[in-house]
A and B are shown apart, each in its own frame.
Chain A
Amino acid sequence: MTSFNLTGTKASDISATLTKLRHQMGAPAVGMVLTLVVVCDEAGQYDSVRAATEAAREHPSRILVVIARDPAEPNRLDAELRVGESSPGEVVLLRLYGELTQHAESVISPLLLTDTPVVVWWPGASPRVPADDKVGKLASRRITDALASRDSVKSIAGRCDGYVPGDTDLSWTRLTTWRSLLAAAFDQRIGKVRRGIVEAIPGHASAVLLAAWLSDRLGAPIEVGESAGPGLTTVRLNLADGGDLTITRSDARLATLSRPGQPDRRVALARRPTSELIAEELRRLDPDEIYASALKHLATSAK
């Protein structure tokens, strides 16, 4: 990893330095497939960059990290450039001071890779309408994380209002393994579902979203219950033909699937690290209509 610091700089210098660093390393631009913009604060920077770089192993990207510093200081842009030998892609940490904190897009837009998708990820606080955000506007895919906000349930419930195709939330991505297991269970004929319950630790955005998705798809009322966690613990669906289809997971790793007339089976259902969530998000860059539909269902049922 070659690192290079530029203080009091501007976008064109950053761009030129990136090219120079690559040439010095003897590695011409590898096939970077997208630009990932990470908007975060100094405290969350380390973990987010680590997750993004991990994800970049699957999707070679230019990663631009936007960190807003003190708006009271004079206007300044500091940049930290990292070009890896071991990892594909490049990382640029941009620290913005003064009025510039309000105009991050002016720095980012000249640094975007030409004619490839742009993804913005807010690991922490995110704008109410991501697509209206100045940085969000540059992207075709906008990733928020309801779990990062203080009231995650309220946050995910509010996402529907500001939803624009291309939005997605990590609390939805975290559900993929659960949804996949549920869908696999339904690959065998199982009949109608009368009602159900999703249990999780109190105030868990993913649980609310999973209940909304199930209810939307199955046309049955799905409640959200509380448990001791960790995270999501149970999905129980009461079947019209009698009996329950249940998935329980108490240790955040191994789940048990039980259904009427069949032996209980254990399935690996581990919580995934952020890097894997981001990698999943980057795999498909088209609007997630199922997510939109689940959000809408959540918003209408909340009223």
Chain B
Amino acid sequence: MARNNAGKQPAISEEAHVAAAAVAATATTAEAYDQNPLRDPRDKRLPRVAGPCVLVLFGVTGDLAKRKLLPAIYDLGNRGLLPPGFSLVGFARRDWAHEDFAQVTYEAVKEHARTPFREEVWKQICEGIHFCPGEFHDDGAFDVLAMMLKEIDETRGTGGNYAFYLSVPPKFFPTVIEQLKRTNLAKAPEGAWRRVVIEKPFGHDLKSAQELNAITSAVFPESSVFRIDHYLGKETVQNILALRFANTLYEPIWNRGYVDHVQITMAEDIGIGSRAGYYDGIGAARDVIQNHLLQLLALVAMEDPTSFDADSLRREKEKVLKAVRLPEDLGTGTARGQYTGGWQGGERVIGYLEEDGIPPESKTDTYAAIKLEVANRRWAGVPFYLRAGKRLSRRVTEVAVVFERAPHLPFSKDDTEILGQNALVIRVQPDEGITVRFGSKVPGTAMEVRDVSMDFAYGESFMESSPEAYERLLLDVLIGDPPLFPHQREVELSWQILDPIEEYWAKHGRPDGYPAGSWGPSSADAMLARDGRVWRRL
């Protein structure tokens, strides 16, 4: 399986260029920060506040903008993390005035914001809200946008710092980015910055990912491109780093000597809903395994980074992704399924092929399971099982590190019959937290040992105030802090892992059906059974 296309790695000079650009991009903030007499690294009460800037949002009428982005902006403001003068510009094909967009924002905030509504915070944000109507291919609209931004710089003191958030389907990227280039908005004058934020999907295979990157990187340097994988903004995911690298307890057993295998699951109880147009032909593997699950794998399996800056962190993640090996036989090492009609959570639901807009002969996988190996000293021989699916029994995302059985049990066989393997489970959603499963004596006269769980519930106790992933990520974009955003190299490495599987699937048969509300096709169970293992029942 020759998936390491070594020739495609960037040359050294290019990397040096990237590093230099990264320094340039953060220099203005970092330098001023160091010279600021009111800042002190010991003064931990003072939060990181973004410098004066404008956020230009393309696709403000979309679902994501209404449910996540606009509320997240308000929540940031409410926590005092938005700079004075912060301005928000909406761009969409709507005949709106500034006030109309403000009203849309107001409603989105009222309905979806995490923090309580406060009039004064809304006033602050409302003053900076602008709207620019137009279509993406309309030169005039972008000329107006450029003028508007210049004006905002003068009236709001935003100093030419713009972040462009492309919350639009990827097919519009080339047009929008070309327009930004044409109007000279992509190029930052001395002492200011320009950043572009793009959402997944980052292509649907290696080739398209590279094409997409070619479009953005022709206009923006890599250090100015922020790829949002909202999973990486989640507290629990960041907590994986804390769990592994702030503790001594786990590191000694975090290797092939003690770990039997790792299961990474992302189960959804919903179907494809209204996403038929996007989902069909993409499938579960491309939709979530390529990004979320492989990122989780990288965080769980990586070596300790020399520091938590973007460069070191990404380097370690890349090393792991490079070390990922596919199973010899893709037929037995992977499984895929497609949900059929059935009962899910007490409701009758239709099968994938009966969903609106899905062709009856569709071969799209709504369930995918793959077995991977990480070929390095720490993990050789330890399988990583990844599974993702729609219309499963319930919604849960977790990483389970399952440990070897004790080499010798000084109890009689009957006493430990129901004792399973120790496990450490990182629950990503819902009910974020960590569970440790271990054997304990059942009260009574007999020495019977049974599995019990020890629970750390992040969600239960901290949910009230734990920030939404988009809040954290938006703030990082405005500050220019990239560790939580995947680098193009990671995106490409992930596609290199997935592409051979997708190719194999395209040539061989079709997905196995599984009834909605179940835990996926029997072929997935058989895949683990061949290794003498079972999926965790979630």
Give A contacts to B, CB under 8 Å.
Answer: 30-31, 33, 57-58, 60, 88, 173, 176-177, 179-189, 214, 217-219, 253-254, 257, 262-263, 265-270, 279-280, 284, 286, 288-290
For the complex, is B203 an interface residue (Cβ under 8 Å from A)? no
Q: A27 CB to closest chain B CB, in angstroms?
A: 10
Docked pose: A187 CA to B35 CA in angstroms: 8
A268 contact from B38, B49, B80, Cβ within 8 A: B80
* Structural contact, B85 and A268, CB atoms closer than 8 A: no
* Structural contact, A265 and B464, CB atoms closer than 8 A: no
Answer whether A184 and B83 are a contact pair too, CB < 8 Å, given A31-B461, A176-B45, A254-B123.
yes
* Nearest CB in chain A to that of B152: its residue: A263
* Structural contact, A187 and B457, CB atoms closer than 8 A: no
For the complex, is B243 an interface residue (Cβ under 8 Å from A)? no
Docked pose: A30 CA to B463 CA in angstroms: 14
B33 proximity list for chain A (CB < 8 A):
187
Docked pose: A266 CA to B85 CA in angstroms: 7
* Structural contact, A31 and B456, CB atoms closer than 8 A: yes
Known: A187-B29, A268-B124, A270-B121; 18 extra A-B contacts, CB below 8 A, are A31-B456, A57-B464, A60-B462, A88-B461, A176-B45, A176-B46, A180-B49, A181-B80, A183-B49, A186-B36, A186-B38, A187-B49, A189-B35, A219-B37, A254-B120, A284-B45, A290-B40, A290-B42
Enumerate the 10 nearest inter-chain pairs by beta-carbon distance, A residue then B residue, closest first: A253-B120, A262-B157, A265-B84, A60-B461, A268-B121, A183-B38, A268-B120, A184-B49, A290-B43, A57-B464
* Structural contact, B156 and A31, CB atoms closer than 8 A: no
B36 contact from A88, A187, A262, A267, Cβ within 8 A: A187
* Structural contact, B32 and A289, CB atoms closer than 8 A: no
B80 proximity list for chain A (CB < 8 A):
177, 180-181, 268
Docked pose: A280 CA to B456 CA in angstroms: 22
* Structural contact, B44 and A284, CB atoms closer than 8 A: yes
Q: B365 CB to closest chain A CB, in angstroms?
A: 38
* Structural contact, A253 and B119, CB atoms closer than 8 A: yes
A279 proximity list for chain B (CB < 8 A):
465
B84 contact from A30, A88, A185, A290, Cβ within 8 A: A185
Q: What are 13 A-to-B residue pairs whose CB atoms are below 8 Å?
A: A30-B461, A31-B456, A88-B460, A180-B45, A184-B84, A186-B36, A186-B38, A189-B35, A263-B155, A265-B127, A268-B80, A284-B45, A290-B43
Answer whether A263 and B36 are a contact pair too, CB < 8 Å, given A57-B464, A284-B45.
no
For the complex, is B536 an interface residue (Cβ under 8 Å from A)? no
* Structural contact, B52 and A188, CB atoms closer than 8 A: yes
B51 contact from A173, A187, A269, A280, Cβ within 8 A: A187
Answer whether A187 and B32 are a contact pair too, CB < 8 Å, given A176-B46, A254-B124.
yes
Q: A53 CB to closest chain B CB, in angstroms?
A: 12
A58 contact from B29, B45, B457, B462, Cβ within 8 A: B462
* Nearest CB in chain A to that of B458: its residue: A31
Answer whether A179 and B37 are a contact pair too, CB < 8 Å, given A31-B457, A185-B84, A265-B156.
no
Docked pose: A38 CA to B364 CA in angstroms: 60
A180 proximity list for chain B (CB < 8 A):
45-47, 49, 80
B52 proximity list for chain A (CB < 8 A):
188
* Structural contact, B45 and A280, CB atoms closer than 8 A: yes
Answer whether A270 and B464 are a contact pair too, CB < 8 Å, given A186-B38, A188-B32, A265-B84.
no
Q: A55 CB to closest chain B CB, in angstroms?
A: 10
B381 proximity list for chain A (CB < 8 A):
none
For the complex, is B354 an interface residue (Cβ under 8 Å from A)? no
Docked pose: A60 CA to B457 CA in angstroms: 11
For the complex, is B118 an interface residue (Cβ under 8 Å from A)? yes
B38 contact from A179, A265, A269, Cβ within 8 A: A179
Docked pose: A278 CA to B276 CA in angstroms: 48
Docked pose: A20 CA to B43 CA in angstroms: 42
Docked pose: A88 CA to B457 CA in angstroms: 11
B457 contact from A30, A179, A257, Cβ within 8 A: A30
Answer whether A268 and B40 are a contact pair too, CB < 8 Å, given A179-B45, A188-B51.
no
B461 proximity list for chain A (CB < 8 A):
30-31, 33, 57, 60, 88
Q: A187 CB to closest chain B CB, in angstroms?
A: 5
* Nearest CB in chain B to that of A193: its residue: B37
A57 proximity list for chain B (CB < 8 A):
461, 464-465
Answer whether A263 and B154 are a contact pair too, CB < 8 Å, given A186-B38, A187-B32, A188-B52.
yes
* Structural contact, A58 and B118, CB atoms closer than 8 A: no
Docked pose: A288 CA to B462 CA in angstroms: 24
A266 proximity list for chain B (CB < 8 A):
84, 123-124, 127
Answer whether A268 and B465 are a contact pair too, CB < 8 Å, given A30-B457, A31-B456, A176-B45.
no
A187 proximity list for chain B (CB < 8 A):
29, 32-33, 36, 39, 49, 51
Q: A9 CB to closest chain B CB, in angstroms?
A: 28
Q: A252 CB to closest chain B CB, in angstroms?
A: 9
Docked pose: A173 CA to B46 CA in angstroms: 11
Q: B118 CB to closest chain A CB, in angstroms?
A: 6
For the complex, is B439 an interface residue (Cβ under 8 Å from A)? no
B455 proximity list for chain A (CB < 8 A):
31
Docked pose: A33 CA to B29 CA in angstroms: 35
B37 contact from A88, A184, A217, Cβ within 8 A: A217
Docked pose: A279 CA to B52 CA in angstroms: 28
Q: B232 CB to closest chain A CB, in angstroms?
A: 23
Q: A161 CB to closest chain B CB, in angstroms?
A: 22
* Structural contact, B46 and A270, CB atoms closer than 8 A: no
Q: Mark B143-176, 1 if CB is under 8 A from A, else 0.
A: 0000000000011110100000000000000000
